[in-house]
Amino acid sequence: MGNSKDASSHNPGRDRLLGYLLGLAGVIIFSGTLPATRLAVASYHPWFITFGRAAIAAAAAAVCLAIMRRRFPRDHLGQLVIVGLTLIFGFPGFMALAMQTVPSSHGGVVLGILPLATALFAALLAGERPSVFFWICGLVGAALITVFALRDSGWDFQAGDLWLLAAGFTAAWGYVVSGKLSHHMPGWEVICWALLLYSPAILGGTLLLWQPGLPAAPLAHNIAFAYLGLFSMFIGFFAWNRGLRLGGMARIGQLQLLQTFFTLAIAAVVLGETITLETIAFAVAVLVVVVAGLRARVGTS
């Protein structure tokens, strides 16, 4: 949790490997978000989940910032506003709305658009210039996931898919802005300040939408709700933002292609959803694309 200016120039290969490992850790944590949301919406309204999970994370963020005695980074206020709108409200809200009508396994597949969206925003906002081969890998991965999604839903595009696409592009925008901020402050600090910045709105929304049945809900639903607050909204970003910083936003974003299949595995274990041999075949194909994409050149302008 020290200074964000690491010594990447001293050993870029080691730092890139660490970026991959941290990015993968973030992906695994985020992979539990859809199944946890699917469980939570069985007891709570999507918008209560959105504000409530943020309230849990904001409390943890306040403790971290107080212990570390950090000063508010006024020069980056505008970027922190975007991080909050996209990652605290936009992505969780759209995703929770989608989970009312589609299975988490289906949602995990549709959110496979994230790597391509992240690379797009990295090119537009962060000055990264992926090679043609990188874009080919991203498009192939997105095509595989699109075919999987359509096959999974009987070749019919569902209303929930629109919410998932909105969630995916919103998250990609937030990830890239967070990654840029990680060049100026530690990655953990980015999400902490964004949460603290919006804490009045978070607290107000949570109280306004409070559901008295929270203590009486099934234990599994409350555990899922706690996971969304502590891991999906908080701890996951510690690893993810640092990974984006060390490995590059477009390249580390490719790891999100694996998130689909981690989500499927978690959904199978936690929710009892079925994983077929065809699903495994798609997983292997996407893995090949990810490995190729990670080896592709990504420059900067």
- Identify the pLDDT of residue 119: 80
DSSP per-residue string spanning 58-76: HHHHHHHHHHHTPPP-GGG
* Predicted confidence band of residue 152 (pLDDT cuts 50, 70, 90): low
* Predicted confidence band of residue 297 (pLDDT cuts 50, 70, 90): low
Mean pLDDT of 226-252: 90
pLDDT digits (tens, 9 = 90+) for 164-221: 888 989 999 998 998 889 888 888 899 999 999 999 999 999 999 987 767 778 999 9
* Predicted confidence band of residue 300 (pLDDT cuts 50, 70, 90): low
Query: Which of 170, 175, 154 is CA-nearest to residue 102?
Result: 154
Q: Which residue has the higher pLDDT, 269 or 145?
A: 269
Q: Is residue 146 predicted with pLDDT exceeding 90?
A: no
- Identify the pLDDT of residue 249: 81
Q: Is residue 115 predicted with pLDDT exceeding 50?
A: yes
**Domain spans of the chain, in order of start:** 12-300
- Identify the pLDDT of residue 285: 82
20-45 burial, b at 16+ Cβ within 10 Å, e below that, comes to bebbbbbbbbbbbbbbbbbbbbebbe
pLDDT digits (tens, 9 = 90+) for 253-281: 888 878 877 888 898 888 887 777 877 78
Q: What percent of the chain has pLDDT over 70?
A: 91
Query: Do 48 and 217 meet the contact criterion of CB atoms below 8 Å apart?
Result: no
pLDDT digits (tens, 9 = 90+) for 72-85: 999 999 999 999 99
* Predicted confidence band of residue 104 (pLDDT cuts 50, 70, 90): confident
